[in-house]
């Protein structure tokens, strides 16, 4: 597995996840969000949720690499329906984080750190944010809660916070 780090044309997300722009998943009247995490020396993980009318879906992807220096390729992809209640809970957390009032950020790659990509598409607007060690800065605490909730709903759940350490559950190695 020798996949190198490449980036997509439509945002800061590594191309290794094989993702399209969020607008293509959402359609003209839907919404789509994704959170990806590249934990240092652990398998990168992505969760995307989409609303089209009254239909909600969740897709999880895991890469084969060990993160940071080597991302690998998609080795696990799982999808499941998302309930209206889960969607509502996520939207509440996103609102509390003031997601849509944040500015698009792209920070340079730091190989010895955990990287987070948080993206959204709604009403023709796209926002992409990436951070290192999300939640350390007070202004990012609510954004970290939204990301935690997002990833905890993946299939299988990916729980990446336990104090300052990273933990994995389910079928993730």
pLDDT digits (tens, 9 = 90+) for 11-53: 556 788 889 889 999 998 999 999 888 776 678 888 999 999 9
Cα-Cα end-to-end distance for the chain? 16
Across the range 122-146, mean pLDDT stands at 82
Confidence of residue 59 (pLDDT cuts 50, 70, 90): very high
CA diameter of the chain: 41
According to DSSP, the residues that pair with 33 across neighbouring strands are 49, 120
Split at pLDDT 50, 70, 90, the class of 8 is low
Residue 156 · residue 172 · CB < 8 Å:
yes
pLDDT, residue 12, reads 57
Q: What is the mean pLDDT of residues 114-118?
A: 82
Structure tokens at 136: 């350390």
Considering only residues 90 and 37, tell me which one the structure prediction assigns the higher pLDDT.
90
Per-residue pLDDT band at 112 (split at 50, 70, 90): low
Q: Mind spelling out the 3-state secondary structure of the chain?
A: CCCCCCECCCCCCEHHHCCCCHHHHHCCCCEEEEEEEECCCCCCEEEEEEEECCEEEEEEEEECCCECCECCCEEEEEEEECCHHHHHHHHHHHHHCCHHHCCCCCCCCCCCCCEEEEEEEECCEEEEEEEECCCCCHHHHHHHHHHHHHHHCCCCCCCCCECCECCCCCCCC
Please report, rounded to a whole number, the percentage of residues in the chain having pLDDT higher than 70: 72
Is residue 31 within 8 Å of residue 117, measured between CB atoms?
no
Question: pLDDT-based confidence at 156, cuts 50/70/90?
Answer: low
């Amino acid at each position: 597995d020798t996949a190198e780090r490449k980036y997509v044309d439509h945002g800061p997300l590594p191309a290794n996840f094989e993702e399209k722009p969020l607008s293509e998943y959402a359609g003209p009247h839907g919404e789509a969000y994704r959170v990806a995490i590249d934990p240092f020396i652990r398998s990168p993980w992505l969760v995307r949720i989409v609303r089209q009318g009254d239909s909600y879906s969740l897709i999880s992807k895991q890469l084969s690499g060990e993160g940071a220096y080597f991302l690998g390729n998609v080795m696990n992809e799982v999808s499941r329906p998302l309930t209206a209640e889960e969607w509502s809970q996520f939207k509440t957390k996103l609102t509390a984080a003031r997601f849509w009032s944040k500015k698009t950020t792209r920070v340079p790659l730091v190989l010895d750190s955990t990287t987070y990509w948080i993206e959204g598409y709604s009403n023709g607007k796209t926002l992409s944010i990436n951070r290192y060690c999300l939640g350390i800065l007070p202004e990012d605490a609510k954004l970290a809660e939204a990301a935690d909730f997002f990833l905890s709903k993946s299939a299988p759940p990916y729980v990446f916070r336990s104090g300052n350490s990273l933990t994995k559950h389910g079928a993730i190695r």
